[in-house]
Structure 1
Amino acid sequence: MNKLDQLYRSVIMDHYKKPRNKGVIDDSNISIDMNNPTCGDRIHLSLQVEDNIVKDAKFDGEGCSISMSSASMMTQTIIGKTTEEAVELAHVFSEMMLGHEHDESLDLGDVEALSGVSQFPARIKCATLSWKAMEKGIKELES
């Protein structure tokens, strides 16, 4: 395993063992439950969106290290973003999971550590679960 793979693995495990933004927002205006029946991952995502800005994001649930660390990274990444930017990041993340290149000027932060998941097709649904929940929640809020 090369040093970059080791770094990415340590970032993923750090988010899994010490998840950021784990919990529930009591007064959220977006609340979505989703699961991945293939492997049993489940997530409850709550977002507080005001004036099209993600003011807060929290998740709860259970699942593998990939799904839970991805949820942790996703919540960190979207707080402070507009809903449009958050949805765009979800599209970029989905493309990254398919092995496609993304605009290097876009700072994905810790999310970049999940890029190797694209080599394991069975794990892509784990990584994208929270992102799909976020997209669904924003779509419902805007409709």
Structure 2
Amino acid sequence: MNITDEQKMEFRNIIIDHFSNPIKKGIFKEKKDIYSARQKSSICADDIYVQLKIINDKIIDGRFDGSGCAFSVTAADILISNICGKRLKEAYDYLKNYNEMCIGNDFEVTEDDEIRIFQTVRVEINRVNCVLLAAEGIRHILVEKGNF
């Protein structure tokens, strides 16, 4: 997939914005209906803790905390923002599609979905782990809660 210079600049700006001002960073104070997973990278210092508030098969809200590079923090922020409001199966399918995109397989993504910034991440193989870290934590929660 060819990315224009204009798109590259747009993608950089999205990464800088989410890394500098993540929307979903922080931990829930309440414990009711909160499901958590921690993902530590085996190849770098990234360590992401994800939380989802799930009620009646629906993700009501989500948060993440920890430390990571711009790629892992941005991916966590965008993924959690995008799955809030979805049913568990919808979120699971969204994550499967995201995973396929990141590893270079066929995928579907709309032009207005910020997650598209990672569509060429497979070119930098060391970054694939970074952008999939939070996704793996979310997947663990969804599998546990939704029995997929």
Q: CA deviation at 1:37?
A: 2.2
CA contact under 8 A between 2:19 and 2:70: conserved in structure 1?
Answer: yes
Instruction: Give the alignment partner of residue 46 of structure 1, picking from 48, 51, 55.
Output: 51
- Structure 2 unaligned spans of 5+: none
The answer on 1:125 being equivalent to 2:129 is yes
| Count of matched residue positions in the alignment of Structure 1 and Structure 2 | 142
The residue type paired with residue 82 of structure 2 is: T
CA offset digits 1:25-74 (Å, max 9, x no partner): 23243111111020111011111011111001000010100000000001
Hey, which bits of structure 1, 4+ residues long, moved more than 3 A?
none
Distance 1:101 1:108, change over 3 A: farther
| Distance (Å, rounded) in 1 between the aligned partners of 2:104 and 2:25 | 28
Instruction: Give the alignment partner of residue 72 of structure 1, picking from 74, 77, 102.
Output: 77
After superposition, where does 1:80-119 map in structure 2 within 5 Å? 80-104=85-109, 109-119=113-123
Q: Which residue in the other structure is 1:142 paired with?
A: 146
The residue type paired with residue 103 of structure 2 is: L
Distance 1:50 1:139, change over 3 A: same
Q: What is the TM-score normalised by the length of structure 2?
A: 0.89
RMSD: 1.6
Distance 1:84 1:107, change over 3 A: farther
The answer on 1:13 being equivalent to 2:16 is yes
SS in 2 for 1:23: coil
Q: CA deviation at 1:107?
A: 6.5
CA contact under 8 A between 2:89 and 2:146: conserved in structure 1?
Answer: no
SS in 2 for 1:46: strand
SS in 2 for 1:3: helix
Between the aligned residues of both structures, percent identity stands at 23
CA contact under 8 A between 1:77 and 1:108: conserved in structure 2?
Answer: no
Q: Which residue in the other structure is 1:33 paired with?
A: 38
